[in-house]
Amino acid sequence: MSKILMKDVGSAQHVLLGPENGKDSVVVDFGIGKDYPNKQIIPQCAPFPWPFEKLIISHFHEDHINGFSKILGSYPKPYCSFDTIYYPKMPCMANTNSVCPQLLGLLVKAISLGVAQIFSQTQYSNLYNFLNDVIASNSKILRFIPVSRGCQIPCGQHTIEIMWPIQTTTTTINRKILDDINSLFQQALAQILPLNQIYSFVNSTLISATESFQNEFVFSNAFLRLYTQALSTIMNNKLSKKQKSLMSSAQKKIKDVLNKWSIAFMTDDNILFLGDLMATQINNVCNNLIVGNKQMIDVLVAAHHGTHNGYKLKKLCVQHAIASIGNRLFGTKEEAKSRVVYSTIANTYATTHQIGDIMI
């Protein structure tokens, strides 16, 4: 079986999958929780001293990607030598090749809010400098590959099979939820000038490159230079407490919608990763495993840091369940309820809050 290492990064996610010799290793998410126990800048990666070539981003929430803004200049170059990034493919509407417009709109808002938070908390004066530093630290052209159910990713001698998201959707987002998000976001746009500028840029860029969410694309310095002028106007402005609160309210509304679009996968050596999926999607993934006679799970990475579950999990035969949980999540009503579920379905259930780094 592949080695799996879950780093103790507080209420965030940072997982490494790799064979014994470390060749063709894969990192899943690159998050660092605000409640990271040792208050270190970055998670340390021993006993995985070798470089990894691939990164899977389960979804674009801060606790799964904020390590990017911490690694620059901190990790040795070999560790930052990945050149391929996999991310959730945006579902199309059924029987079409068109991206669901509600999802695209939410993604634009989520990215805009996330970028605004990055600028208010880091050294970067604009998005161009941030992305340019990421690429410079890798000294490679980055390939971005969208994945959905049925896609496969090599990991040493093993294979990662994507179980979620699905390729098409026939559902629409609840109108009240959408109206609430739009109302909060419009309030934020009216009060926060940097957010307005960021949103305009992100919106025009993503709408003009919608196909990128369905197909592989290459992200290089040459690509970034096309937007230098537009991005140079988006400067770092400290946000007031009230402004941050307004942005946080909008982000919370978007959060659950994007969780439903999180990557879940199963390896051919029986490691199941559930990302930040919610109950309906967890049940869908489990049902597909049951239908395919793949109920035997050696390691289950619990959904949403061990705070989400579904009733069909009980149909699986799990050896070890693990979860990345920090002080912010441990003991919450949601976490306590799910802890009972995972402790029941697995022979052993371990969390980083209890034992620190988890290595299997």
Could you tell me if 102 and 162 are in contact, meaning their C-beta atoms sit under 8 angstroms apart?
Answer: no
Q: What angle do CA 264, 135, 109 make, to 5 degrees?
A: 55
Taking the C-alpha atoms of residue 270 and residue 184, their distance in angstroms, rounded to an integer, is: 42
Q: How would you write the pLDDT of the chain (360 residues) with one tens digit per residue?
A: 678 889 888 889 989 887 656 567 888 998 888 777 655 545 444 444 455 678 898 987 878 877 765 554 444 444 556 678 898 887 777 777 777 777 778 878 887 887 776 666 655 555 555 555 555 555 556 677 889 999 999 887 889 999 999 887 766 677 888 888 889 899 988 888 778 877 887 787 766 666 666 677 665 555 454 444 444 444 445 667 788 788 888 888 888 888 888 999 999 999 999 999 999 999 999 999 999 999 999 999 999 999 999 999 999 999 999 999 998 899 999 999 999 999 999 999 999 999 998 988
Please give the full DSSP string across 275-293, using - where no structure is assigned: TT--HHHHHHHHHHHHHTT
Q: How much is the pLDDT for 333? A: 93
CB 167, CB 261: distance < 8 Å = no
Q: Give pLDDT, residue 251.
A: 81
- Per the structure block, which two tokens stand in for 120? 């208010």
- Residue 127's closest CA among 323, 135, 306? 135
CATH number at 3-359: 3.60.15.10
Q: Letter for the amino acid at 83? A: D
pLDDT number for residue 45? 44
Q: Could you give the CA distance from residue 188 to residue 165 in angstroms, rounded to a whole number?
A: 30
Residue-level pLDDT at 23: 65
Which H or E element spans position 87?
Answer: strand 84-88
Domain spans in the chain, listed from the N-terminal domain onward: 3-359
